Amino acid sequence: MPQPYHVLYLQVVPSAVLKIVRSQLPPGFELEALEEGSQDEVLCRVADADFLLVATTPVTEEVIAAAPRLKLIQHQGVGYDNVDMEAAARRGIPVALTPEGTTVGVAEHVFLLILALYKQLRTVEDALRRGEWLQWELRPQSYEIAGKRLGIVGLGRIGRAVTQRARAFEVAEILYYDLVRPGPEVEQGLGVAFCPFHDLLRRADIVTLHVPLTEETQGMIGAQELALMGEQAILINTARGALVDEGALYHALTREQITGAGLDVFAQEPPSPDNPLLRLDNIVVTPHIAAGTRDALRTKMVAAFANMLRVARGEEPIHMV
């Protein structure tokens, strides 16, 4: 009887999460997860791995070298900046992504952050729990999405899903910037207008980022870019924390250069408790959970294990980097 393929979930996760992951495991596969996440444990456990299921743990050259049986590095998301792509290429190990299960959750989360900022959710909830009834006081600083100009940086799967949901909120206009501009039929179908990056920052009431982290995009929102945005503009980042210069963002928020920011991601995760952004009232933060739903996890695991089955059959995986 052939030995089962060994999948190592290169992550420390709660038992309830691991139960959901295991529920989608196909026959002929066995799965283990990290228990403590130390480098020593990682290097020891990858030695027997046929497949790596990856979330946030770094997959370094050292990790790849310690996995002689490795056939596929399967990322459960779409950001692969924690994987040493050159080391994987030298070994001939494909790296694949899982866009399935990511798009809906992230697109929904964009509007969660926008509405939390526009409706002053943190302030009113904290006040109400203290016994204060701010029915009138915050009206001058509260807004609706309807009638606003939305600027989308990156018109990939998630950017397009955001445009679809924005229509339901009756935005006035959707601008977008992307290095790869789709054809006019795509723009017309989505109801979006291309806009150069700096012009988009000047014109948009809401700027939301949906690009991968690369050498070119790191720090793409800095002091210069924030200065271009209007005083009533807000910035939303559900992509990667390092896209934004956090020091510049802090200064822009404290000086009221922009109205607010909604962040699901940080340059350092988790952020240090003394990160000055966490002390501001005009920011809403969540712990990288935009795609962190039970629904998304099940969808991701079905897709990830399907890719492993392809490789086990000698086929090429889909969604390769």
Let me know if 203 is a catalytic residue: no
What CA–CA distances, in Å, run from 8 to 252, 315, 316? 43, 20, 20
Residues 144 and 221 placed together within one structural domain of the fold:
yes
User: Domain containing 224: what range?
Assistant: 103-285
Predicted confidence at residue 78, as pLDDT, reads: 86
Mean pLDDT of the chain: 96
Q: Rounded mean pLDDT of 272-300?
A: 96
Q: Which of the following is catalytic: 45, 160, 210, 240? A: 240
State how beta strands 234-237 and 206-209 pair.
parallel
What CA–CA distances, in Å, run from 191 to 168, 173, 177, 194? 12, 8, 14, 10
- H-run or E-run covering 234: strand 234-237
Q: Rounded mean pLDDT of 11-19?
A: 95
Residue type at position 62: E
Q: Which of the following is catalytic: 125, 269, 315, 316? A: 269
In a domain, 162, yes or no: yes
In a domain, 306, yes or no: yes
Q: Answer yes or no: are the C-beta atoms of 294 and 269 closer than 8 Å.
A: no
Let me know if 316 is a catalytic residue: no
In a domain, 23, yes or no: yes
Residues 41 and 109 placed together within one structural domain of the fold:
no
Residues 124 and 42 placed together within one structural domain of the fold:
no
Residues 124 and 243 placed together within one structural domain of the fold:
yes
Structure tokens at 36: 């403590």
Residues 257 and 165 placed together within one structural domain of the fold:
yes
* C-alpha closest to that of 171 among 208, 210, 211, 205: 205
Residues 123 and 255 placed together within one structural domain of the fold:
yes
Q: Rounded mean pLDDT of 285-306?
A: 95
Residues 280 and 136 placed together within one structural domain of the fold:
yes
Beta bridge partners of 75: 54
Q: Which of the following is catalytic: 45, 160, 210, 288? A: 288
Residues 277 and 166 placed together within one structural domain of the fold:
yes
In a domain, 318, yes or no: no
SS (H, E, C) 103-169: HHHHHHHHHHHHHHHHCCHHHHHHHHHCCCCCCCCCHHHCCCCCCCEEEEECCCHHHHHHHHHHHHC
In a domain, 319, yes or no: no
In a domain, 44, yes or no: yes
Residues 265 and 142 placed together within one structural domain of the fold:
yes
Residue type at position 316: E
What CATH number corresponds to the domain at position 88? Answer: 3.40.50.720
In a domain, 304, yes or no: yes
Whole-structure pTM value? 0.89
In the chain, how many domains are there? 2
Encode burial over 244-279: b for 16+ CB neighbours within 10 A, e otherwise. Answer: bbbebbbebbeeebbbbbbbbbbbeeebeeeeebee
The Cα–Cα gap between 158 and 164 comes to 10
Residues 302 and 243 placed together within one structural domain of the fold:
no
Residues 65 and 182 placed together within one structural domain of the fold:
no
Structure tokens at 26: 């196909």
45-68 pLDDT, tens digit per residue, is: 999 999 999 999 999 999 999 999
Residues 39 and 18 placed together within one structural domain of the fold:
yes
Give the phi and the psi of residue 102 in degrees, each rounded to 5: -90, -40
Q: Does residue 216 surpass a pLDDT of 70?
A: yes
* C-alpha closest to that of 106 among 165, 151, 51: 165
104-127 pLDDT, tens digit per residue, is: 999 999 999 999 999 999 999 999
Q: Does residue 1 surpass a pLDDT of 60?
A: no
Query: Nearest 5°: CA angle at 97, between 94 and 98?
Result: 140
In a domain, 321, yes or no: no
